[in-house]
Structure 1
Amino acid sequence: MATVAVTCLLPVALVAGAWWVTALDGVLADRAAGLGAGAGWGLARPGREVARLLVAQRRTTLAADGILRWAGVVTLVVASVLGAAVVPLGWRAPAELSVGVVWFNAMEVVAWAAVWLVGWGPNSALSLVGGYRFVAQGLSYELPHMFAIITAALGAGSLRMSEIVDAQADLWFVVWMPAAFAVYLLSAAAMAFWGPFDAPLGRDVAGGAAGELSGVDRLLFAGGRRLLLVAAAAVAVPLFLGGGHGPWLPAWAWVLLKALAVLTLLVWLRHRLPVVRMDRWAEVSWIVLLPLTMVQTLAVALVTLAVGGVGR
């Protein structure tokens, strides 16, 4: 019965998170532009955008591969939801997999392929450029992202999300894995092509991978992108922030509050991090983030071995 309740809660939480991302991002953008929109107006923005795209006319390009484009759009949404299925909403996850960490990373790679299909399908040069930009960005940030995730799994000695949460009963991993947590947030934003990492959708290529999407296709693509960001924020909770551990409130409430805090931070960072060329961000990944996560992983491995040796 508990598993059924958790499974029903997951899609509701994901949609609510995507709604919050759109609303907060719009409010921060209006404030940066000097527009004084109220909170109610900001919360209603996602609904207006959904209604606009639902009635918008769908357009196609010459010799477009509609099947590939539609497959990419749908796959992006499905992969985002499946990636979040291993997050324990309380003490149980909808999908309690023994390799939950690997599953989440695999779904991110599936989403990566989906964006490339969206860029390839319309048979448009600028759309294809956007797709290949995301491939290049994914290649740059996948390794530090993977090392950051594996660092948490190494500290717990397990790839199961619930066991990683149990290992943080006394001390959250973010306390002694701060570098891995910071790299995870940056690389998660890059994998969700969010904030300064949105070169695949850049204005210089007329919207890039999403430039030829309209109507329902564009709605699903935008929703999948936000769902991917919500899933990444949710996974940060069991990996680094203690999962459902916390006083007074029930475990599921702590998971939702922590995920909301991480999501708010990622949206806020979008309006604070500098917008630089994509190749500069690739240099940051290869030269700074990858060595940093390798050192963090080595440090965690040494501590884990030392603690294990003392225990024996």
Structure 2
Amino acid sequence: MTSATPFLLPVLLVAGVWFVAVLDGALADRAAGYGSGARRALSRTGREAARLLVAQRRTTLAADGLLRWAGVLALIVAAVLAAGVVPLGWEAPADLSVGVVWFNAMEVVAWAAVWLVGWGPNSALSLTGGYRFVAQGLSYELPHMFAIITAALGAGSLRMSDIVDAQADVWFAVWMPAAFAAYLLSATAMAFWGPFDAPVGRDVAGGAAGELSGVDRLLFEGGRRLLLVAAAAVAVPLFLGGGHGPWLPAWAWVLVKTLAVLALLVWVRHRLPVLRMDRWSEVSWIVLLPLTMLQALAVALVVLARGGGGQ
């Protein structure tokens, strides 16, 4: 790790957000019959960002602008800090001994951020979107925690770089498939993306983001995509071997794997319908939670058979 790595992280995150926006736009154009040209999607993304930058900000009666802004900014900060524990090669910008716990804590900050965005405008539909995200989080959080703790259990450490080192021979996604699948689902729900975008759904006029406009809307949408990029990036050290791979340097493998996970999550958005909250809660509690618990038990038995180490 070089001294420039912490300064490189925001650049990579912004590039990831741009990649998501362009790919998402290209797939939307293809579905609408316009083809899937990246140039059209790229120009439209730039125009939309410019439009929001100069658009007039909308306010509502008795709105709490401070809480709204705090929520928007907290969403961005939480995403950046969550990505800070991702090894960009072999070491992370912040190689914390409790990196897994830190990532999960930043996810809870994102919960509070979206709820504040929904509460601030003093709007019933906006508040409904905020509470939807809290309810969605309560449904996915336990399977999510079991999934990431299973990876930490396999490595015998909560440090991201140690988890990467433990995958020198076999990726955790290979022998922890249930945990990996649960993580991908929960990562999508964490960014309220694709089938999990009920908190900003059309049926509630945009939900938590319904009263946002101008720069507020631009920052919120950027924060949402930053959260998706951070969640996809964390999947790489947890389950996909981090920088391990032939021919390419470690940092290149991290980028390639992160972009592959992002492409999968964006593709899923255009293939699956939005899930009803009660249906998702049922699947999460009845299917995912027992499945991830069994996966954690299986990994624990393997670790004990190896003498208590993750190697």
TM-score by length of 2: 0.97
Alignment of 1:15-34 (within 5 A): 15-34=14-33
Separation of aligned partners in 2, 1:282 and 1:196: 13
Alignment of 1:184-263 (within 5 A): 184-263=183-262
Unaligned stretches of 5+ residues in structure 1:
none
2:65 is the alignment partner of 1:66? yes
Q: How far 1:31 sits from its partner (Å)?
A: 1.1
Q: Distance in 1 between matches of 2:246 and 2:42?
A: 30
Q: Which whole-Å deviations, capped at 9, do the CAs of 1:162-220 have from their partners, x for residues lacking one?
A: 00000001111011001100100001100110001000001111000000000011001
One-letter code of the match for 1:103? Answer: W
- Cα offsets for 1:31-81 (capped at 9, x unmatched): 112222522111223211110100100011000000000000000000000
Partner of residue 39, structure 1 = 38
| Structure 1 residues 129-140: aligned runs within 5 Å | 129-140=128-139
1:135 to partner: Cα distance: 0.4
Q: 1:243 to 1:133 in 2, by over 3 A?
A: same
Contact 2:156 2:309 in 1 (8 A): no
Q: Which amino acid aligns with 2:213?
A: S
- Give 1:287's aligned residue: 286
Q: Is the 8 A contact 1:22 1:45 kept in 2?
A: no
- Residue type of the alignment partner of 2:197: D
CA distance in 1, matches of 2:260, 2:144: 20
CA contact under 8 A between 1:3 and 1:93: conserved in structure 2? no
What CA distance in whole angstroms lies between the structure 2 residues aligned with 1:121 and 1:180?
Answer: 36
1:15 aligned partner, one-letter code: V
Larger CA deviation: 274-283 vs 141-150 = 274-283
Match of 1:161? Answer: 160
Partner deviation per Cα, 1:214-253 (whole Å, 9 max, x = no partner): 0011001000000000000000000000000111111000
**2:120 corresponds to 1:121:** yes
Cα distance in 2, alignment partners of residues 66 and 176 from structure 1: 48
Q: TM-score, normalised by structure 1?
A: 0.97
SS in structure 1 at match of 2:233: helix
Distance 1:248 1:310, change over 3 A: closer
CA distance in 2, matches of 1:63, 1:266: 38
Distance in 2 between residues matched to 1:32 and 1:266, nearest whole Å: 16
* 1:237-277: CA deviation from partner (whole Å, max 9, x where unpaired): 00000000111111000000000000100001111123332
Moved over 3 A (4+): none
For the residues of structure 1 that align with 2:136 and 2:294, how far apart are their CA atoms? 22
> What is the match of residue 83 of structure 2?
84
| In 1: Cα distance, 2:109 partner to 2:11 partner | 22
Matches of 2:308 and 2:263, distance apart in 1: 40
Alpha-carbon separation, structure 1, partners of 2:309 and 2:72: 51
Return the alpha-carbon distance in structure 2 between the equivalents of residues 308 and 140 of structure 1.
35
For residues 52 and 10 of structure 1, the distance between their equivalents in structure 2, rounded to whole angstroms, comes to 27
Q: 2:146 and 2:309 mapped to 1: Cα distance?
A: 26
Instruction: Confirm or deny: 8 A CA contact 1:3 1:92 kept in the other structure.
Output: no
What secondary structure is seen at the aligned counterpart in 2 of 1:88?
Answer: coil
Aligned to 1:148: 147
Contact 1:6 1:92 in 2 (8 A): no
Displacement of 1:154 in angstroms is 0.3
Question: Does residue 8 of structure 1 match 2:36?
Answer: no
Are the structure 2 counterparts of residues 249 and 208 from structure 1 closer, same or farther at C-alpha, using a change threshold of 3 Å? Answer: same
